[in-house]
Structure 1
Amino acid sequence: MAELKNWYLICYDIRCPKRWRKAYKLLEGYGERLQYSIFRCWLSQRMREKLRWELEKILTTEDDLILIRLSQQCVRDLPKYNRSNTWLLDEKGFRVI
C-alpha cells in the first residue's frame, strides 16, 4: 500500500550564502520553489523526516526553518483567495490503456 502524502510549505531564512545554496539544491530535489526561500513539496511522513534530517545537517542555530503541512481542505481552497496561477497542480492523473 502506498504511503499517505501531504503538501508541505517549507520556508527558511539562512544567514550564510554557502549554506543557503546547499539547502536550496537539496530542496530542489524534493519540490518546487514558489518564492525565494519558500518551497512546496509533496511528501510522505518518511520523506519529510528524511528531508528534515538532511536539512539539519546543513543548518546552524542562527538559521530559521519551518515546515507547514497543508490539509487537503487548505489546498482545495487556495484558488478561492489567490491569483489563479498561485498553486498550479498537474491534475491529469493516470490513463488506463
Structure 2
Amino acid sequence: MAETKNWYLICYDIRDPKRWRKAYKLLQGYGDRVQYSIFRCALNMRDREKLRWELEKILTADDSLLLAGMCDRCVSRMISCNRSESWTTTCDHHRIF
C-alpha cells in the first residue's frame, strides 16, 4: 500500500544567491512554485524528511525555512491572485440611475 501524501507549503528566506538557487532547483523537483521562495508540494512522510534533510545541507544559520502542513480543506481554499488568468472579474454592466 502506498503512503498517504499530504500538502505542504514550503517557504524559505535564503541570504546568499548561490544557496538560494540550489534550494530553488531542489524544490522544483518536489512541487509547484507559488512565488519565488514559496512552493506547494504533495509529499509523503519519507519524501518530506528527505527534502528537509537535503535543504538542511544547503542552508546555513542565517537562512530560514518553514514547512507548513496543510489539510485538504486548506488546499481547496488556497487562492492565487497574482496571476492574471486566476484573477477573473465578472462585469455585469449594471447601471444605477
TM-score scaled to structure 1, two decimals?
Answer: 0.80
Residues 1-49 of structure 1: CA deviation (Å, up to 9, x unaligned): 0101011100000000010010000000101111010001110010000
AA at the equivalent of 1:21: R
Distance 1:22 1:78 in 2: 27
Task: Give the share of equivalent positions with the same residue, in percent.
Answer: 67
Provide the alpha-carbon RMSD of the alignment: 1.7
AA at the equivalent of 1:50: K
2:54 aligned with 1:50, yes or no?
no
2:6 aligned with 1:28, yes or no?
no
1:60 counterpart SS class: coil
Distance 2:12 2:75 in 1: 21
Q: How many residues align?
A: 84
AA at the equivalent of 1:14: I
Provide the residue aligned with 1:61 in structure 2: 61
2:95 aligned with 1:85, yes or no?
no
Distance 2:34 2:78 in 1: 14
1:22 counterpart SS class: helix
Runs of 4+ in 1 over 2 A off after TM superposition: 76-79, 82-86
Provide the residue aligned with 1:38 in structure 2: 38
Structure 2 portions without partners, runs of 5+: 88-97
1:9 counterpart SS class: strand
In the TM superposition, 1:5-16 aligns within 5 A as 5-16=5-16
Structure 1 portions without partners, runs of 5+: 87-97
Cα distance, 1:85 vs structure 2: 3.1
